[in-house]
Amino acid sequence: MSRARVARRIAAGAAYGGGSIGLLGVAAVGVLLAEVQLAKRSVGGGVAPLPPGADGRYGRSYDAATPLRLALLGDSTAAGQGVRRTGQTPGALLASGLAAVAERPVDLRNVALSGACSDDLERQVSLLLAAPAGAPDVCVIMIGANDVTHRLPATQSVRCLAAAVRRLRTAGAEVVVGTCPDLGTIEPVYQPLRWLARRASRQLAAAQTIVVVEQGGRTVSLGDLLGPEFAANPREMFGVDNFHPSAEGYATAAMALLPTLCAALGVWPEADRIDVDRHEDMLPVAKAAAEAVKEGGTEVTGARAPWALLKHRRRRRLPEPAGPGGAEPADTPPPPRPTDRDARLSREP
CA 21, CA 95: separation in Å to the nearest integer? 37
Catalytic: 342?
no
Catalytic residue among 55, 241, 272, 275: 241
Catalytic: 277?
no
Contact, 257 vs 140, CB < 8 A?
A: yes
Catalytic residue among 201, 221, 244, 312: 244
Catalytic: 241?
yes
Q: Roughly what angle, to the nearest 10 degrees, separates helices 285-292 and 193-214?
A: 140
Q: Which alpha helices (H) appear in the chain, and where do they start and end?
A: 3-15, 29-42, 76-79, 90-102, 121-129, 145-149, 154-170, 193-214, 228-232, 234-237, 247-264, 285-292, 340-343
Contact, 87 vs 321, CB < 8 A?
A: yes
CA 44, CA 240: separation in Å to the nearest integer? 8
CA 11, CA 14: separation in Å to the nearest integer? 5
- Whole-angstrom CA distances from 127 to 71, 130, 272 are 11, 5, 32
Alpha-carbon Rg of the chain, whole angstroms? 19
> Could you give the 3-state DSSP secondary structure of residue 168?
helix
CA 71, CA 57: separation in Å to the nearest integer? 12
Active site residues: 76, 241, 244
